[in-house]
Structure 1
Amino acid sequence: MRRAYWSADFAEAHVVEAMLRAHGVQAWVFDALLVRQDWFKTLMFGGYRVMVADEDGMRAADVIGEYRAGTLAIADDAVERPACPRCATPGRDDPAPFRRVFALMITADLVLALGFRLATGSSAEMLALVLGGSVVVVPVIALVFTRYLKGRYVCPQCAMRWRALSASFATMAREVDAATDVDAGAKGEAAP
């Protein structure tokens, strides 16, 4: 066995594993449970290793090269996007909410640091400690605004901004069941 890829990101390692398997290369993510137990030491453990058989090494290197070059990316027009409510043009992701939340996080960080500095009159070392502590505050703000960021689109033609709510899992499951029943009936088979 040989290492074909490594990542410090758990999800990316599994994406590469699935991508290799989709291209006919047997791949496995090694050390996933070990690294996840103490993720502060991810780099010390060597990250998440994607391993392949020796005979599949060259094929895996080719597929990973295509992945890194971006040739395996899905074409933008192949991605299903909701239509604009005003003009029915397919929308694209709206970056404005992300920019607003990012500006809010930076402002909160600066206010926190400045407020601590004015309240205590402390040295630069304490200011650095507060800025480091705000690393905890910033993700909390991001978690609070996660719902605000999801499903935001902008129309490239009329510049309308809207939020498309996704269907619940139960609704999607019912749609799949209904489509399966229709497919089974069309083939003359009994529905499971």
Structure 2
Amino acid sequence: MWIELEKLNSATDNINRFEVELDESKCEFKRLLAESVVRIKAAAHKLGNSIDAAKPYYESRIYAAQLAKETQQSAANHEKAKSIHATAKEMVYLAEQGLGEKSTLDTACQEMLSHAASKVNQSQLEVTDTRNALKMCQLKLEVANNRVNKLQGQLKQALRASRYTSGSIDGAGSIHIYGIELYEFWELLFLGLYDYILYSFL
């Protein structure tokens, strides 16, 4: 009894300690993020028109990233539809094998076989629909990526001028502030999502 009580007290102490640490981490994150955005906005003010000139490029990157996620989901939906269709065809095959020895089929057997065949037809339509949806997503993603590459070439000077040169630089040459790549901050500022990102962690 006393051992269980000690374990309970110890667990309660750990929970309280973790809650305090979590609150402290949230406060520190909020402070660092707010400080970083202030620095980014100051850089944007200093760099002037180059930020606005580079905006279409960053917006196109965001759109392409969204399409990439949609394409991944569409591909998953298509694979799921193909799996369901294959299972339905297997059910029809097994039903036909099991009923093949009978000279006549009773009503229950006919209904079972009809239902299995209907499932095959429905799943085939789903396979077709998801395949078409996937092709459309892939086409839109290709167009979006081409636009990103085109804007990267057209806005080369503006992009170079809009890059903030303070902060840490990793081995690949990407600029980071508190572990977040700089272009992500630009994108957040362009979309006005800073407040959402900040308070979603609170």
Fold conserved between structures, TM > 0.5: no
Superposition TM-score tier, normalisation by shorter sequence: under 0.3
Q: Larger relative CO (CA 8 A, sep 6+): 1 or 2?
A: 2
Indicate the structure with greater helix content: 2
Bigger radius of gyration among the two = 2
Q: What TM-score, normalized by structure 1, do the two folds share? A: 0.25
Indicate the structure with greater strand content: 1
Q: What TM-score, normalized by structure 2, do the two folds share? A: 0.24
